[in-house]
Structure formats: structure tokens, C-alpha cells
Amino acid sequence: EPEVTQTPSHQVTQMGQEVILRCVPISNHLYFYWYRQILGQKVEFLVSFYNNEISEKSEIFDDQFSVERPDGSNFTLKIRSTKLEDSAMYFCASSADRGAYGYTFGSGTRLTVV
């Protein structure tokens, strides 16, 4: 079964540092997403991306966040200046069709900001 791969699985960073979370979506998928889950809380939508541009973003996805698809396979989430409250599990997901709710999620990157 095809998988969405995320690296690293765990990242520790100092407050104020930039981090880049990496994802390799399923190869024939066209729609890409980032979600996050703070420990003990709900899974929250951050951003959706299609055709090399952001389709939709949440209020969480402010100027400190950016996404990029630098080549044909990777999809990245950058946080420019991390804050303590950015500590969370970050999940990348992809789907073949915007209309299909069957998104495939990766196993996540646990980001710890100290």
C-alpha cells in the first residue's frame, strides 16, 4: 500500500530557530496538506496545496509558516521562527482527488520547541 513518508520523525529545536519538515506524498497524488496535533488536542488543518499554490489555509498558518514543493516528489513545511506553542505532531497528507475524502496521512513529525 502506498505511503506518505515524513522526515524526521522527531525534531527538537530552540525557540526562534527555523525548521523544515519534509514529506514525500504518494506519487500520483495531486493535492497536499499539512495538519498538526498538539498533545492531547484535536487534529487541526493548516494548509492545502495544489498546482504549486496554496488552495486554503487556516488562521494558524500565519506569516511564520510557508510550504513548498521544491521538486516533483517533496512537499515541505517551514516554520521561520519557532515558538514554544509550535510544539506538536505535524502530519502531511495527500490525495488524488480534491473531492475524495480519502486522504492518506503520514506518520508525522514530532516537533519539540525548547
- Give the interface with another protein as residue ranges (CB under 8 A): 4, 31, 33, 35, 42-45, 48, 50, 55-56, 58, 89, 91, 93, 95, 98-108, 110
Closer residue to another protein, CB minimum distance, 14 or 42: 42
In angstroms, the CA 92 to CA 70 distance is: 15
**CA dist., res. 6 & res. 22, Å (int):** 6
Smallest distance, another protein to C-beta of residue 97, A? 9
- Residue 43 Cβ vs another protein, minimum distance, rounded to whole Å: 4
Classified as helix, coil or strand, 84 is helix
Angular region, 112: left φ>0, alpha ψ -120 to 50, beta rest? beta
In the bound state with another protein, the residue whose beta carbon lies nearer, of 65 and 103, is 103
Question: Please, what is the minimum distance in Å from the beta carbon of residue 32 to another protein?
Answer: 8
Question: Is the Cβ of residue 45 or residue 65 nearer to another protein in the bound state?
Answer: 45
Least distance (Å) between residue 45 CB and another protein: 5
C-alpha 39/C-alpha 20 separation (Å) is 20
CB-based contacts of 20, cutoff 8 Å, min separation 6: 76, 77, 78
